[in-house]
Amino acid sequence: MLTERKKRLVELYNDLSLSVEEAAEKAGCGRRYLHKVISELRAEGKVTLVDRKSGIKSVEDLPKPVEQKPAELKPKDLDLVEEHRLKREKRQLSQAVRELAEEKDRDNRLASLLEQFIHKPIEKPEWLEYQPMGKHSAIASAMLSDTHFDEVVNPEEINGVNAYNRQIAQMRLETFFRNVIRLDRDYMKGVNTQGLILALGGDLVSGNIHEELAQSNDAHQMDTALYWSAQLAAGIELLSKHFDKIHIPVVTGNHGRATRKPRHKARAQDNWDYLIANIVARELSHLGDRVTFDIPLGSEARWPVYGFNYHMTHGDQFRGGNGIAGVLSPIMRGDHNKRKREQAVKSPYDYLVMGHFHQLQRWAGILVNGSLKGYDEYAAAGNFGFEQPQQAFWLTDPDNGMTVFAPVRVMTKDERKLWTPQHKTGASWLTECA
């Protein structure tokens, strides 16, 4: 419906005796406003408006619309339309028949194949048949590092996900030795294990390199060295009852150093890891050449297995790393530099093994050990990823080198009873339903 105002504007605009300016003046509005209203009404098509450019003088002079009558189809034209429709339907039906015939043919061929499979068994290749053969030879390896003996981890400071002290460390160390035997005995059946490499990768003790450690450790360093030397010797003697030969390469870590700042000269001799390894070697001397040690004065150890060269360092020399790549960046960069150095002195290696990062990882040619201690306050404060206490176990094959790899889990259910957090919020209503 048009308002009275718009009807008046249309009436004045259609009066060709008035100019647009005069029509706007009579309507009491501006020329621009009049044009705007007329344009909107013309677009809507609800009213009849004169065309001022064509010179039509009144609405009555506007051309009347001519009614378009539908064309009359003659009988002959009707026959042609019907013929076209019928031909189109014929083509469509013929196409549908062809598709149905092809589908039926596919179904028949599939049914024939299924019939053959049902009544004719598949012939398996001969090499898939079980062929008894002699045991395959390999040398087992296990790494023990980052035990941090006598460090104390308070579960209430890390949301109750871990705990550590002398009692828990003793339980985990015993579990480590027993699980190494279990992995070889129960999970490596069919393999003739010719011996064990037990790599001691450093940070055996917590040390006093930080003031907080000196204040919270379970024992003084001398007592720690004496106590855990005996525990390690007992564990290795247990391994010797299962493995005919054991070789133990040793490197020192950064936590066992006797100085607050790291040093490069005489690094091993001023380290509690070095002292513990020598005490253990002396304690096991009665086993003769069945148990051998390699305790170098440098920071790295090397040994060959079936022609594959292993190179061990603690890992504290690899620094940096953040973001998504994390520890991968410094480790890959350090491995690259170390390989160049060793190749230059004609001492190349195939595998680099290390500890220090407390993350059990394996990449091409690189193995990083986990830790016996597990998650601690430092890791929690740094928002590091959680990892269970675990160590590394693997086999070295004469043809393929490092093959089978498995974690040695060291946490037991009995241990958890010792450190279930007792902390309570004091607001029990937060967990109660109304």
Tell me, yes or no, whether 37 and 151 share the same domain.
no
**Do 31 and 173 belong to one domain?**
no
295 and 187 inside one domain: yes
Q: Which residue has the higher pLDDT, 434 or 293?
A: 293
Domain assignment present for 125: no
Judged by average pLDDT, the poorest of 75-79, 85-89, 177-181, 209-213 is 75-79
Confidence of residue 423 (pLDDT cuts 50, 70, 90): low
Residues 24, 30: Cα–Cα separation, whole Å: 6
CATH code of the domain containing 252: 3.60.21.10
Q: Is residue 266 part of a domain?
A: yes
Average pLDDT on 150-160 reads 93
Number of domains in the chain: 2
What is the DSSP secondary-structure string of 270-336?
TBHHHHHHHHHHHHTGGGGGGEEEE--SSSEEEEEETTEEEEEE-STT-----TTTTTHHHHHHHHH
Angle 4-14/20-27 helices, nearest 10 degrees? 150
Are both 233 and 366 inside the same structural domain? yes
Can you give the residue range of the structural domain that contains 364?
Answer: 136-416
CA angle, 203 as apex, 202 and 207 as ends, to 5°? 145
220 and 314, same domain (yes or no): yes
More confident residue, 428 or 219: 219
* Domain finish residue from 39, 60, 81: 60
In a domain, 114, yes or no: no
**Residue 189 maps to a domain:** yes
Residue 46's contacts (CB-CB under 8 Å, 6 or more residues apart) are 2
* Torsion 68-70-76-82 (CA) sign: positive
CA distances from 71 to 65, 74, 77, 82, 164 (A): 18, 9, 11, 17, 99
What are the pLDDT digits (tens) for 350-365? Answer: 999 999 999 999 998 9
Q: How many CA atoms lie within 13 A of 325 on its CB side?
A: 9
Q: What is the CA radius of gyration of the chain?
A: 45
In this structure, are 224 and 338 located in the same domain?
Answer: yes
Q: Give residue 57's pLDDT.
A: 47
The answer to whether 51 and 59 have CB atoms below 8 angstroms apart is no
User: Does the global pTM surpass 0.75?
Assistant: no
Cα–Cα distance for residue pair 194/192, rounded to 1 Å? 6
Q: How far apart are CA 421 and CA 328, in angstroms?
A: 34
The answer to whether position 332 is within a domain reads: yes
- More confidently predicted of 16 and 88: 88
Domain-embedded: residue 374:
yes
Which pLDDT tens digit goes with each residue over 250-266?
Answer: 999 999 998 888 888 88
Co-location of 146 and 48 in the same domain: no
Residue 429 lies in a domain: no
Mean residue pLDDT of the chain comes to: 85
At CB < 8 A and 24+ separation, what contacts does 54-63 make?
56/16, 57/16, 58/14, 58/16, 59/14
| Range ranked top by mean pLDDT from 41-45, 51-55, 104-108 | 104-108
Q: Is the pLDDT of residue 127 over 60?
A: no
Same domain membership, residue 47 and residue 152: no
Residue bearing tokens 């290795």: 236
Considering the chain, what percentage of its residues have pLDDT values greater than 70?
Answer: 84
Tell me the pLDDT tens digit for each residue of 192-203.
999 999 999 999
Please give the biggest Cα pair distance in the chain.
132
Residues 152 and 24 in one domain: no
On whether both 220 and 365 belong to a single domain, the answer is yes
- Residue 90 falls within a domain, yes or no? no
- Do 249 and 356 share a domain, yes or no? yes
How many Cβ atoms from other residues are within 10 Å of residue 284's Cβ?
Answer: 21
Nearest alpha-carbon partner for 255 in 139, 362, 373? 373
Residue 321: predicted pLDDT: 66
Same domain (yes/no): 299, 396? yes
